[in-house]
Structure 1
Amino acid sequence: MKHMTPKEAFAFLQATPQALFIDVRSEMEHLFVGHPAGAHHVSWNDGPDWEVNPHFVQMVRKLAGHGDARPIVLICRSGNRSLAAGAALEEAGFTAITNVTHGFEGDLDAHRHRNSVNGWRFDGLPWEQY
């Protein structure tokens, strides 16, 4: 699995139109916190029980369409869930997985707040909120 900062991932996505960009956060995070523009949403785990989505790999495979070699870029809040999701995809045979380090909201600052140290939004990359 490759690892890219949000800016590196954005540049990669711009240069690689066949890449599939997936937000693996919960549905509520995706809808209410916002999400990267153009990202597909497939939860790795979701409330209320926060169990791993048993259909995650199958849903990604359906989106990928071109097979297990299609470049896939995964993002979550801070880079941890996307790392676990990427490992599951690799175990299922996907060969071109990239994890976005620092995720959408970034690491915690000294006051335990996000969006103030790093991450997709902190870097000013395109995002949407419904």
Structure 2
Amino acid sequence: MQELLPKQAWDLLLERTQDAAEGAGDPPLFVDVRMEIEFLYVGHPPGAQNIPWYEYPAMTPDPAAFVAAVERAAGSRHRAVVLICRSGKRARDAGQALAAAGFGEVVAVVHGFEGDLNEALQRSRSNGWRFDGLPWEQM
């Protein structure tokens, strides 16, 4: 599994999507592993599909179910998968499950969508997708 900073991940997504448009394979599957409510109301990168690593109320990952859902969305374990979450931890954990299941190219976005907490216990103030000014949308 590879870990990339948000800007590096965005560049990879853009480059591989362009390559796919020119006939060089499939674009990466971009997966937001946060809970649905986070995905919808906090916001998400454009083009990301929401496949939660865990969901309320259980709040417990089911790696086998997650891997199966990603495989359905990807169509193949050979397709590159880029994962993002709030701060990077769930993306890393989910990425390790995908790599262990035989996915060939898995990328986790370091610092995630909102980034690490700062001294005032606020996110999106020191790093992360939104902090870096990358595109995002919300419901």
Fold conserved between structures, TM > 0.5:
yes
Identity of aligned residues (%): 49
TM superposition shift of 1:48: 1.2
In structure 1, the gaps of 5 or more residues are none
CA–CA distance in structure 1, aligned partners of residues 98 and 117 of structure 2:
27
Which secondary structure does the structure 2 equivalent of 1:127 belong to?
A: coil
Within 5 Å, which residues of 2 pair with 1:63-82? 63-65=73-75, 67-82=76-91
In structure 2, the gaps of 5 or more residues are 18-26
Q: Which has the higher strand share?
A: 1
TM-score by length of 2: 0.90
Within 5 Å, which residues of 2 pair with 1:113-124? 113-124=122-133
Q: Tell me the alpha carbon deviations over residues 8-49 of structure 1, each in whole angstroms, 9 at most, x when there is no partner.
A: 000000001111100000011001101111101100011112
Within 5 Å, which residues of 2 pair with 1:74-93? 74-93=83-102
2:72 aligned residue: 62
Q: Which has the higher helix share?
A: 2
Q: Does 2:8 correspond to 1:8? A: yes
TM superposition shift of 1:57: 0.7
Q: Does 2:30 correspond to 1:35? A: no
Q: Which segments of structure 1 move beyond 4 Å, counting only runs of 4 or more?
A: none
CA–CA distance in structure 2, aligned partners of residues 92 and 22 of structure 1:
16
Q: Tell me the alpha carbon deviations over residues 80-116 of structure 1, each in whole angstroms, 9 at most, x when there is no partner.
A: 0000000111111101000000000001101110000
1:44 aligned residue: 53
Q: Does 2:138 correspond to 1:129? A: yes
TM superposition shift of 1:68: 1.2
Which secondary structure does the structure 1 equivalent of 2:93 belong to?
A: helix
* Largest Rg, 1 or 2: 2
Amino acid of the residue matched to residue 88 of structure 2?
Answer: G
TM-score by length of 1: 0.96
Amino acid of the residue matched to residue 87 of structure 2?
Answer: S
Q: Tell me the alpha carbon deviations over residues 67-86 of structure 1, each in whole angstroms, 9 at most, x when there is no partner.
A: 21211100000000000000
Q: Does 2:111 correspond to 1:102? A: yes
